[in-house]
Amino acid sequence: MKRFTSVHDLLNGYGLSQAITDALAYAESPWKDECLGKRKTVGLLFMNPSLRTRMSTQKAASLLGAETIVLNAGSDSWTLETRDGVIMNGSTTEHIKEAAAVMGAYCDILGLRTFAGLTDRTYDYQETVLEKFIQHSGVPVISLESATRHPLQSFADLVTIEQHKTTQRPKVVLSWAPHPKALPQAVANSFTEWMKHADVELVVTHPEGYDLDPSFVEGVHVTNDQDAALKGAHFVYAKNWSAVEPYGQILSQDTSWTVSTKKMALTDNAKFMHCLPVRRNMIVTDEVIDSTNSIVIPQAANRVVSAQTVLAYMLKGLA
């Protein structure tokens, strides 16, 4: 596998059910491929903050016997320019073209985190920065959350649902929830894209105006009635995102959308999920996230197995 930027990279290769099987095997026996990455180096470049992605991907590489080098652009490396053709007389010091090529010379596999800028929808939705990085790095690249997707997160989410489901085809509800800052649509887009290919009944719910990009929700059951969506749910996945139109704007911070005990009572004893980091008592009440139905910690723990599976596929491709 040469790139992992969306579910399609698995669908076109190993396939989703094989990937779930392999991820569950790593969850069971984390060290089973401890020599696969021997003498290989994984470089991770973060243009935005991270706790889980950074630690879980490093941990995953270590379980496969690979070395990792982590760089935070702008703090422990140079500030990067991503636009072509600009006169670099401002705050950026190095172009992503050279940075990617140099990292590719040092590393066998690279990961990049580059969030949506939320000012130019076309620039973000064309995945301009990620594609440039792939083009110039010369090695396999993993998205560590790009402008429109967070595939390692969605893969971990799918594995978590597999582990916790009690019916063959669970009802999974992705619900918008309020947040004080404008956040990307990446997690919601990506979760929707992966769930479309999973054996689940997916419902997406959000207030009016928060419609996701049509390319992600085409064919998906979407409703503005959160209570109706939650009825009979087996999994509630909460997430905030900013509007797609007008792009990157906050239209509402309506706390009636916060996932509370009253909301969870509408479900079929649903498990609560969130990718984290989460704003308590905005997205979800303390009572719900601290309840036994909350699976946010095992969900975050599964970030190791999703990263390990993807790294293993790439390492096998290098051999």
- Rule CB under 6 A: which residues touch ligand AN0? 145, 150, 183-184, 186-187, 275, 277
User: Judged by CB under 6 A, which of 6, 53, 267, 302 binds ligand CP?
Assistant: 53
> How many angstroms separate the Cα of 174 from the Cα of each of 177, 204, 211?
10, 5, 12
**Which of ligand CP, ligand AN0, none binds 51 (CB below 5-8 Å, type-dependent)?**
ligand CP
**Which of ligand CP, ligand AN0, none binds 258 (CB below 5-8 Å, type-dependent)?**
none
* Minimal CB distance residue for ligand CP: 53
State the DSSP string of 56-112.
Answer: HHHHHHHHTT-EEEEEETTTTSPPEE-STT----SS--EEHHHHHHHHHHH-SEEEE
Exposed e or buried b for every residue in 57-69, given b needs 16+ CB within 10 A?
A: bbebbbbbbbbbe
- Choices 15-23, 58-66, 258-266, 271-279 (CB under 6 A): range interacting with ligand CP: 271-279
Is 275 a binder of ligand CP (CB under 6 A)?
yes
Return the residue matching tokens 């950074």.
54
Q: What is the CA radius of gyration of the chain?
A: 19
User: Judged by CB under 6 A, which of 58, 146, 153, 185 binds ligand CP?
Assistant: 153
Pair of tokens at residue 10: 């698995």
For residue 174, what is the enclosing H or E element? strand 171-176
Could you say which residues in the range 110-149 bind ligand CP, by CB under 6 A?
A: 145
DSSP 291: S
For residue 264, what is the enclosing H or E element? helix 261-264
**Which of ligand CP, ligand AN0, none binds 186 (CB below 5-8 Å, type-dependent)?**
ligand AN0
Show the CA angle centred on residue 45, arms to residues 34 and 145, nearest 5°. 90
Is 50 a binder of ligand CP (CB under 6 A)?
yes
Kindly state the smallest distance separating residue 174's Cβ from ligand CP, in Å: 15
Kindly state the smallest distance separating residue 313's Cβ from ligand CP, in Å: 20
- Choices 89-97, 190-198, 221-229, 275-283 (CB under 6 A): range interacting with ligand CP: 275-283
Q: Smaller CB distance to ligand AN0: residue 44 or 66?
A: 44
Q: Smaller CB distance to ligand CP: residue 145 or 193?
A: 145
Neighbouring residues of 28: CB distance < 8 A, sequence distance ≥ 6:
none
Kindly state the smallest distance separating residue 50's Cβ from ligand CP, in Å: 3
| 3-class state of residue 283 by DSSP | coil
CA-based diameter of the chain, in Å? 59
Q: Smaller CB distance to ligand AN0: residue 136 or 279?
A: 279
Number of amino acids touching ligand CP (CB under 6 A):
9
Instruction: Round to whole Å and give the CA distance between 241 and 195.
Output: 18
> Which residues in the chain belong to E strands, given as ranges?
3-4, 41-46, 67-72, 80-81, 94-95, 109-113, 141-143, 171-176, 201-205, 221-223, 235-239, 271-273
Kindly state the smallest distance separating residue 224's Cβ from ligand CP, in Å: 26
Going residue by residue from 155 to 194, which x/- string records binding to ligand CP, judged by CB under 6 A?
----------------------------------------
Could you say which residues in the range 223-262 bind ligand CP, by CB under 6 A?
A: none
Residues near ligand CP (CB under 6 A) = 50-53, 145, 153, 275-277
